[in-house]
Amino acid sequence: MIRVEMLATGEEVLHGQIVDTNAAWLADVLFSEGLPMTSRVTVGDNLEELVVTLQQRSLIADVLIVNGGLGPTSDDLSSLAAATAAGVRLKMHAEWLAKMEGWFAERGQVMAASNRKQAEIPENTEMLDNPIGTACGFAMQLNRCWIFFTPGVPSEFRLMVKQQIIPRIKTRFSPGPGPVCLRLTTFGRGESSLATELEGLALPEGAVMGYRSSMPVIELKLTGPAAIHRQMEKVWSEVRRIAGDSLIFEGMESLPAQLAREITARGLTLGISEAYTGGLLSWHFTSADAPLSYGEVLPVLKETPEVMAERCQGCPLALIVGSVLEDETLPFVLRTPQGAFYQRVKLNILRHTLRIRQETVAMTAMNMLRRWLQGKPATGGYGWVEVVEEKRL
């Protein structure tokens, strides 16, 4: 099996000053293309460390994708590190220099002298085009390894991977079918509660059950080679059964995106009135391009269910989130063309940060809508979602 690795560069990545979204994105894309990442390493802006790492990984990996360090400043060292590791010189790439100068001229700017550095790549390497930025990439062979050097800007990096790198890798190595990954997301049950039941399942040889906890949800994954997909599906039906009412969606598409698609398909629009969530619920639906007809964020209010249900007038479909009550419960109303549903819920989340509490409350509201759209009772408790009161208004 081909061994694909990643090398991320930069002090800000090494020291956690920024989140390495490029690494997560690349791992997911490679997995879906049948080229699962074997390992990855991060190195700061240190020439000696970069050279040593390139030389070491080139003796082990078949493919190494290096991300970052192709900019115009003194701490951008990837090109020099590549040349040093290979024992060659940097050479000015006249074609890319002309393209950069044209790029700046089109925008009415004069290219700074420091940008010339971005057209210097090691001798005997293949340039990789960057149609939306000034940093060209390049590919080189070092020992047993084919190394690709890419810019750190996410939009440039992702385009280069898709257009330049993955096609080249597939042409040379002809990978077989990628691994299968079955995913579902749960809400309202803890990781240990699920694991207690799931770990008794007999998995097909080669399949692995995984868990990812990101409060307030738990993602379950069953991963294995394509050859055992059918056996995995049989186990997966048991996973669904064990998840029960806590299962809120399957696959990679988010719950807001799935709700937005279903609302649109029914020709409806959604109104949102929220207090405790402070606009978070509207943000989730706006980010998913949901058809919203009304939105408001209100201060702390203590209202009866009937008064809450009067909010978002003119919206046949509406989600209404109240404020925390004296007994530490929180009221929700879902108004639909078939009537309004009320529930008062105790979520037992006060020990968590405000952000997590708000995310949990927003998820509770979205789950009411999900249940109604799927023809299930809109209200109901499970796991640590304790419904104290529920009624139809």
In whole angstroms, give the CA distance from residue 362 to residue 366.
6
Q: Examine the pLDDT at 69 and tell me if it is beyond 70.
A: yes
pLDDT for position 177:
74
In whole angstroms, give the CA distance from residue 215 to residue 355.
10
Question: Within this chain, do residues 196 and 131 fall inside the same structural domain, yes or no?
Answer: no
CB atoms < 10 A from the CB of 113, how many? 8
CATH of the domain at 239: 3.30.70.2860
Question: Within this chain, do residues 62 and 126 fall inside the same structural domain, yes or no?
Answer: yes
Question: Within this chain, do residues 17 and 97 fall inside the same structural domain, yes or no?
Answer: yes
Handedness of CA 220, 223, 228, 230 (dihedral sign): positive
Question: Within this chain, do residues 244 and 301 fall inside the same structural domain, yes or no?
Answer: no
Q: Is 174 exposed, middle or buried (0-12, 13-18, 19+ CB in 10 A)?
A: exposed
- Rounded mean pLDDT, 123-146: 94
Question: Within this chain, do residues 41 and 184 fall inside the same structural domain, yes or no?
Answer: no
CB 130 within 8 A of CB 119: no
CATH of the domain at 20: 3.40.980.10
In whole angstroms, give the CA distance from residue 258 to residue 275.
24
Q: Examine the pLDDT at 71 and tell me if it is beyond 70.
A: yes
Q: How would residue 350 be classed by pLDDT, with cut points 50, 70 and 90? A: low
Question: Within this chain, do residues 138 and 156 fall inside the same structural domain, yes or no?
Answer: yes
Q: Which domain holds residue 84?
A: 4-173
pLDDT in tens, 169-203: 999 998 777 788 999 999 988 888 899 999 989 99
Question: Within this chain, do residues 286 and 376 fall inside the same structural domain, yes or no?
Answer: yes
Q: Examine the pLDDT at 219 and tell me if it is beyond 90.
A: yes
pLDDT for position 383:
80
User: Residue 360 is which amino acid?
Assistant: T
Question: Within this chain, do residues 347 and 361 fall inside the same structural domain, yes or no?
Answer: yes
Q: Examine the pLDDT at 263 and tell me if it is beyond 80.
A: yes
Question: Within this chain, do residues 31 and 168 fall inside the same structural domain, yes or no?
Answer: yes
Q: How would residue 326 be classed by pLDDT, with cut points 50, 70 and 90? A: confident
Q: Of 229, 250, 271, which closes a domain?
A: 250
Q: Of 225, 250, 275, which closes a domain?
A: 250
Question: Within this chain, do residues 235 and 311 fall inside the same structural domain, yes or no?
Answer: no
Q: What mean pLDDT, rounded, does the chain reach?
A: 93
pLDDT for position 27:
94
**Number of folded domains that form the chain:** 3
CA 362 to chain centre: 19
Residue 41 sits at the vertex; the CA angle it makes with 40 and 43, to the nearest 5 degrees, is 155
Q: Is 4 exposed, middle or buried (0-12, 13-18, 19+ CB in 10 A)?
A: buried
Nearest to 123 by CA among 147, 150, 89: 89
Q: Of 250, 279, 300, which closes a domain?
A: 250
pTM over 0.85: no
Question: Within this chain, do residues 244 and 259 fall inside the same structural domain, yes or no?
Answer: no
Q: Examine the pLDDT at 343 and tell me if it is beyond 90.
A: yes
- Rounded mean pLDDT, 25-46: 93
CA distances from 186 to 15, 258, 331, 338 (A): 32, 15, 22, 27
Question: Within this chain, do residues 152 and 11 fall inside the same structural domain, yes or no?
Answer: yes
In the chain the beta strands, taken as DSSP E runs, fall at 4-9, 37-43, 63-67, 90-92, 120-122, 126-128, 137-142, 145-150, 180-187, 208-214, 217-224, 247-250, 270-274, 292-297, 318-321, 330-336, 339-346, 386-392
pLDDT for position 273:
96
Handedness of CA 220, 224, 227, 231 (dihedral sign): negative
User: Residue 55 is which amino acid?
Assistant: Q
pLDDT for position 384:
80
